[in-house]
Structure 1
Amino acid sequence: MLTNYYTEQYRESLLHNVIPFWMKHSPDNTYGGYFTCLDREGNVFDTDKFIWLQCRQVWSFSMLYNMVEQKKEWLDMALLGAHFLQKYGRDREGNWYFALNREGKPLVQPYNIFSDCFAAMAFARLYQATGDKEHSNLAVYTFHNILERQENSKGIYNKSYPGTRPLKGFSMPMILSNLVLELEHLLPSTLVEQTISRAVHEVMDVFYQPELGLILENVSPEGHFVDSFEGRLVNPGHGLEAMWFIMDLGARAADQSLIHKAMNIALDILDYGWDKQFGGLLYFMDVKGYPPQQLEWDQKLWWVHIEALVAMAKGYMYTGDKRCSDWFEKLHYYTWTHFPDRENGEWYGYLNRRGEVLLPLKGGKWKGCFHVPRGLFQCWKTLKAIAGKEVVHG
């Protein structure tokens, strides 16, 4: 049974450990934006600024301001990143760069559409806090740009040779299933419902392969299995994150069958992805059991485990299925005995297969102020809802 002890643990860690770490160490008060490359103690070891991490941090502090408490320091933190992004973040066509130097000069072209996705999320949440139309206009413009680019998101930066082995990726419909709700207050209801319908179909009927019982990262344009490195790839963390998105959408539509389907897929992913030898969830797997091409396939990553915890908490909240609470407790024990840094705060991001710290950094090119605070918030509020027998959306 999920207890009030868990609820308090997630709340306390979010508000008095993780967020203070980023408040103290990440602001760049000289040039704006945030430092995300932070060592174990919070010292800055690289000053490059990665757009999706800048955007994610704007989102995190805007979310806290909107949904926890209207603390001026949280809004100020969100605006520190937003002003930097508004000034330097996009090219002349309105696409968001991937990386800038500390002063805001472009380093990496806008090849990655997920910079745009997190920019839309960030400015939509920030608008809820500020009421500034510039923020809402930027969010809506970026969202429409994403929809226009989604079929060929990398555009001129796509290195695949056209036509030989066309593939489409899971990441795009997965993120749209959540992103559209982040902008729901800014978009026409018809566009919201159309986007949700298409995303749910893609996630649950195309990338989910019933005969495998798993979600593939890449399929053919027709939705078929492709026997190649990319086609055999399974990312348990992506699947688990997507399933809590889908459970929330099922609750929104009062569709219990969708909720149960997503919950059962999440349980299957956990059974498949759990490392039977050392514990924890593997990062990448090959659906045929072949060696994955990703050399980091057996690492244990922070975001995979926090997303799994959210999925199981929501699965239990929505269904009461004891398998979800059992898995939550199993995941909770592994996560909290391996990832948090008891001495310096925040979480380690990268463990080796045995669960030993592989990189002691707290932030870098890929890890920033997002998955841990969002996951802690979601678990806190979901566990509180379980205790109070009320459904919470976030």
Structure 2
Amino acid sequence: MPDPTAAERHRRHLVDDVLAWWTAHGPDEEHGGVLTCWDNRSATLVSTDKYTWSQGRWAWLTARVAAAAQRGVLGVDPEPFLEHSERTARFVREHALLPDGRVAFVTDRAGTPREPRPGSGLATSVFADLFAALGFAGLAQVRPEGGWGATAEDLLHRAAGTIAAGAVPADPYPVPEGHRAFAFPMILLGVGEQVHRATGSAESAALVRAAAGELAGHVGADHDVAEMPADDPRDRDGLVARHRTPGHTLEALWFAHHARDLIAGTGLDTPQVLAPIALRACETGWDAEHGGLLRYTDRDGGPPRGSRTGHPYEELVAGTWDTKLWWPHAEAMYTTTLLAAGTAGTAETGLAAWAERLETYTYATFPEGPGREWTQIRARDGSPDDRTVALPVKDPFHVARALLLLVEQAGTTAAPPITERNTS
């Protein structure tokens, strides 16, 4: 059973700290959308550029917070969050949605799309398309009017077609040629499930099922998940083929669990199947010396190794493998708690122990203090690391989403709104 004490801790941290910081600092009241280019320690807005995938994520998150508040799960007023979601979704639809149906990767503050690099074009990432779809789908679930669900459905299927065609635009992480990326079916599964909840279409259900089947193909007999397996067996000992991303694995597992009614028979549809994969990811990713989850590991554990071709992604893996990032820890807290509640015996015991270990490390390492967000990037020893990871943003998504899902999963009843608590 979920720990009510832990759930209350998550709820208070979500409402009093994470959401309080973002609602005070993020929304752009002049132009719409959310300002996310804050430095690692939440002190300075370093740019007013708006990366579309962050806009879509914020639209989804604020819609989900509003829905939770309406059900009495969170003690906040849902209306401001609904307004944040709708204003952000409108910003994306009016400014980032291009005439050809694709989505611009980044705009300026007012919404004018720009190329992330000279000559790159505007639509440089299928992830921008899919996170825009996620935001529209989230809003459609609480505000069915406005055509948000239909737009989400269209973006989802366009993105799936782009991925199926190959040579996928994938800023900020282009996939090395000759490798299959776990991230593509993973994001199709996660976003597709949310689009299906919004539209109920048979087409989105079929896409989710197909994505789950492809994800299952990345799972080995020993429950190891290959992040980018090589198409050519001769390349299986290269660094790209050998490296693992524990956070991605753990995030994908809860995607599968949430979509279990859509993916029966794919091999990823029960906690009993997912639990050993989660245990393997935790064991492989955990840093025995300093604690916490490593960003990347070798398939056999430890630093990534193997032959290299000179692709920039190899340098990313080799240069940042031992960083401690916010998102794997947020995802891992939720996945281990969720799957522990659905299994029995040694798997349940093991996952519950991991959930406790991860919660202890995460709360001791990432939160910045009362009324603030997380320092999202840490060095191996837990000290702040101010390098840019992926994009120059402090993304208002993984932390709040995981905390909200933990509260929802526990089924807690909300305390009074924060304004009432603080004045009593």
Give the TM-score normalised by structure 2. 0.82
AA aligned to 2:142 is: A
Pairwise CA distance, 1:137: 2.4
Describe the shift of the 1:136–1:252 C-alpha distance in structure 2 as closer, same or farther (beyond 3 A).
closer
Counterpart of 1:141 in structure 2 is 154
Q: Distance in 2 between matches of 1:142 and 1:304?
A: 27
My pick for the range that moved more, 223-232 or 6-15, is 223-232
**Contact 2:54 2:395 survives alignment (8 Å):** yes
My pick for the range that moved more, 9-18 or 47-56, is 9-18
Counterpart of 1:230 in structure 2 is 240
Counterpart of 2:416 in structure 1 is none
**Contact 1:267 1:324 survives alignment (8 Å):** yes
1:49 paired to 2:50: yes
Pairwise CA distance, 1:42: 5.0
1:196 paired to 2:208: yes
**Contact 2:178 2:232 survives alignment (8 Å):** no
Pairwise CA distance, 1:244: 1.5
Q: Distance in 2 between matches of 1:244 and 1:329?
A: 18
Counterpart of 2:68 in structure 1 is 67
AA aligned to 2:279 is: L
**Contact 1:41 1:344 survives alignment (8 Å):** no
Describe the shift of the 1:360–1:225 C-alpha distance in structure 2 as closer, same or farther (beyond 3 A).
closer
Counterpart of 1:14 in structure 2 is 14
Please list the CA deviations of residues 252-301 of structure 1 after superposition, one character each: whole Å capped at 9, or x if unmatched: 66889732121110101100110011110000122255446321110000
My pick for the range that moved more, 164-173 or 279-288, is 164-173
Query: Aligned to 1:110, what secondary structure does the other structure show?
Result: coil
Q: Which of the residues 228, 245, 266 maps onto 2:255?
A: 245
Query: Paired residues, what number?
Result: 382
Q: Distance in 2 between matches of 1:265 and 1:171?
A: 16
1:307 paired to 2:331: yes
Pairwise CA distance, 1:229: 2.5
Please list the CA deviations of residues 56-92 of structure 1 after superposition, one character each: whole Å capped at 9, or x if unmatched: 0011001111232362111111122122111111222
Please list the CA deviations of residues 136-161 of structure 1 after superposition, one character each: whole Å capped at 9, or x if unmatched: 22112111211211224655789999
1:267 paired to 2:279: yes
Q: Distance in 2 between matches of 1:251 and 1:77?
A: 31
**Contact 2:37 2:47 survives alignment (8 Å):** yes
Counterpart of 1:388 in structure 2 is none
Counterpart of 1:101 in structure 2 is 108
Pairwise CA distance, 1:221: 4.9
Pairwise CA distance, 1:167: 1.9
Please list the CA deviations of residues 192-239 of structure 1 after superposition, one character each: whole Å capped at 9, or x if unmatched: 4422322222112x111225x311111245899733232122111000
Q: Distance in 1 between matches of 2:173 and 2:351?
A: 40
Counterpart of 2:31 in structure 1 is 31
AA aligned to 1:302 is: W
1:207 paired to 2:214: no
AA aligned to 2:260 is: G
Please list the CA deviations of residues 95-128 of structure 1 after superposition, one character each: whole Å capped at 9, or x if unmatched: 1111111121222321110111111111111122
1:258 paired to 2:270: yes
Describe the shift of the 1:156–1:182 C-alpha distance in structure 2 as closer, same or farther (beyond 3 A).
closer
Structure 2 gap segments, 5+ residues each: 71-76, 117-121, 306-313, 413-424
Counterpart of 2:422 in structure 1 is none
**Contact 1:207 1:223 survives alignment (8 Å):** no
Pairwise CA distance, 1:379: 1.1
Q: Which of the residues 373, 378, 397 maps onto 1:351?
A: 378
Pairwise CA distance, 1:186: 4.6
1:219 paired to 2:214: no
Describe the shift of the 1:369–1:224 C-alpha distance in structure 2 as closer, same or farther (beyond 3 A).
farther
Q: Which has the higher strand share?
A: 1
Structure 1 gap segments, 5+ residues each: 386-394
Counterpart of 1:323 in structure 2 is 350
Q: CA RMSD in A?
A: 3.0
Query: Aligned to 1:306, what secondary structure does the other structure show?
Result: helix
Describe the shift of the 1:157–1:117 C-alpha distance in structure 2 as closer, same or farther (beyond 3 A).
closer
Please list the CA deviations of residues 139-188 of structure 1 after superposition, one character each: whole Å capped at 9, or x if unmatched: 121112112112246557899999x9522211111112221220114545
My pick for the range that moved more, 225-234 or 122-131, is 225-234
